Chain A
Amino acid sequence: DIQMTQSPSSLSASVGDRVTITCRASQDIRDDLGWYQQKPGKAPKRLIYAASSLESGVPSRFSGSGSGTEFTLTISSLQPEDFATYYCLQHNSFPPTFGQGTRLEIK
């Protein structure tokens, strides 16, 4: 199975901050990666697909980059509604595997 190592596991930041979350894959997954936002009691919502493509309707302050084994999700200027948990997901090969999650909290 492909292991996805996500960091940090938690992050405290302020409104307006720029934050970056990283996922590392245990082997080459090309760009077969998505980023998801999850709020308490809600289903995950996809923000980024194919590593760097922004989902329709998602604010442009979210961006993704990377390919192969190293990927990043960047939020350029945090807004109050962005405080949530974020996950990466690789779908290059079965089983699909998630990162452990990053809990983004208000400082």
Chain B
Amino acid sequence: EVQLVESGGGLVQPGGSLRLSCAASGFIFSTFGMNWVRQAPGKGLEWVSYISSGSSTIYYADSVKGRFTISRDNAKNSLNLQMNSLRDEDTAVYYCARDRVVVTATPFDYWGQGTLVTVSS
């Protein structure tokens, strides 16, 4: 069974930092790209970042570029998101979501349960 479990959320002051993690199991993690998606309270879904299976390709939403860093450890089946210079508008539930293993497959099939990040003084 595919499982994605996020951790690391919490309350942080504006300008602070936080590191989120996503523990993957039930599939060959090292062969799949991965994404972070967030959802502000009462709002819709917003894609945040993508990393390819071997970390060679990385994309960010303009809203987080230069502040967030995505990374992965395939030996530990772990996906990470380092969030620096946090702003009030970064307050959201952050989800990790599986991408695809081949171009012909479809991404965003499995999601974690989410972890809440609150940026407030």
Report the minimum CB–CB distance from B12 to chain A (whole Å): 22
Report the minimum CB–CB distance from A84 to chain B (whole Å): 13
- B112: chain A residues at CB < 8 Å are 43
Q: Are B59 and A94 in contact (CB under 8 A)?
A: yes
- B107: chain A residues at CB < 8 Å are 91, 96
In the complex formed, the residue of B with least CB distance to A31 is B106
Report the minimum CB–CB distance from A62 to chain B (whole Å): 16
In the complex formed, the residue of A with least CB distance to B45 is A98
- Asked, given contacts A94-B50, A95-B59, A95-B61, whether A87 binds B44 with beta carbons under 8 Å apart, the answer is yes
A34 to B107, CA, bound (A): 9
A95 to B59, CA, bound (A): 8
A interface: dominant SS = loop
- Asked, given contacts A94-B59, A95-B59, whether A44 binds B106 with beta carbons under 8 Å apart, the answer is no
Interface residues on A, range: 20 to 34
Q: Which of B35, B44, B106: most chain A Cβ within 10 A?
A: B106
Q: Are B46 and A98 in contact (CB under 8 A)?
A: yes
A66 to B106, CA, bound (A): 16
**Which residues of A approach B to under 8 Å, CB–CB?**
32, 34, 36, 38, 42-46, 49-50, 55, 87, 89, 91, 94-101
